[in-house]
Amino acid sequence: MNADRIMALSRAGVAVEVVEETGSTNADLLARAPRLTAPVLLVAEHQTAGRGRAGRSWLSEPGHSLTFSLAWRFAGGLRGLAGLPLAIGVALAETLGRLGQSVQLKWPNDVLKDGDKLAGILVETQVAADGAAWTIVGIGVNLVMPDALEDRIGRSAAAMPWLARMGRDELMATLLDGLAEALALFARDGFAAFVARWNTLHAWQGRPVVLLDRGEVQHEGLAAGVDDTGRLLLDTAAGRVTIVAGDVSLRTKD
């Protein structure tokens, strides 16, 4: 992949860097956050220590996925960032939809294709000296899923073989544009601008689900979308409850 070509193809006006290999693009940008002065996209041809939510690993192989992180500054600091990972999911899903890939969203931060995980999102923040928040948006997208990699993951995973034939620089530029547009909108209007769009893309809307915390069942009910702060709405036998994203797992019952 070529950083100059990605920037030339993109409308976002964001600096782009491409490295052949690194441990984690999120970790790299977090370490640089105190010195950043403008948004930057860091793309790795291969990540050796990719990270997912709750300390889980994100496994990938060179040439078979896109692994990248986008550093974005929110002048208002951490206030108002509720729902940001879900808004990013909307941006990613809608961009893939425009590219002909029909995908859905699983709360709080997974993109599904045909019921299997296609992409993951990890958002980390660091407060700057002036009170602004640098937000590092890490994304991994499966393009091709070799059997050996799926075996390492330990469950079925989705891929996009049709998009894998698309020029990687063009694909990356298209994703960057969708993300940058969404982040600018979120900075202005918050998650309110995304809640209806997220609920439209909700993979498990109206389906019976079980909410697990460290393997123990916490709630059971019908998934009813999310509210305007990104909390999951669950209709249980005792009434509607709201769930805040944390170290939890959501499973369908059917």
Q: Is 214 a catalytic residue?
A: no
From 106, 117, 168, 231, active-site residue: 117
188 is catalytic: no
Read off φ and ψ for residue 79, nearest 5 degrees.
Answer: -65, 135
251 is catalytic: yes
Within a 13 Å sphere around the CA of 207, how many CA atoms are in the beta-carbon half?
Answer: 14
Residue 149 contacts by C-beta under 8 Å, 6 or more apart in sequence?
Answer: 59, 60, 61, 64, 157
**Amino acid sitting at position 46:** H
Q: Where does residue 13 fall: left (phi above 0), alpha (psi -120 to 50 degrees), or beta otherwise?
A: left
Q: Which one from 11, 207, 251, 253 is the annotated catalytic residue?
A: 251
Order across the sheet with 104-106: list the strands.
15-19, 40-44, 65-74, 133-142, 116-127, 110-113, 104-106
User: CA dist 179 to 55, 71, 86, 166, Å?
Assistant: 24, 11, 12, 19
Q: What is the token pair recorded at 233?
A: 């709405």
Which among 53, 106, 113, 168 is annotated as catalytic? 53
- What is the C-alpha to C-alpha distance for residues 180 and 171, in angstroms, rounded to an integer? 14
In this structure, the chain runs to a length of 254
Active site (catalytic) residues = 53, 117, 251
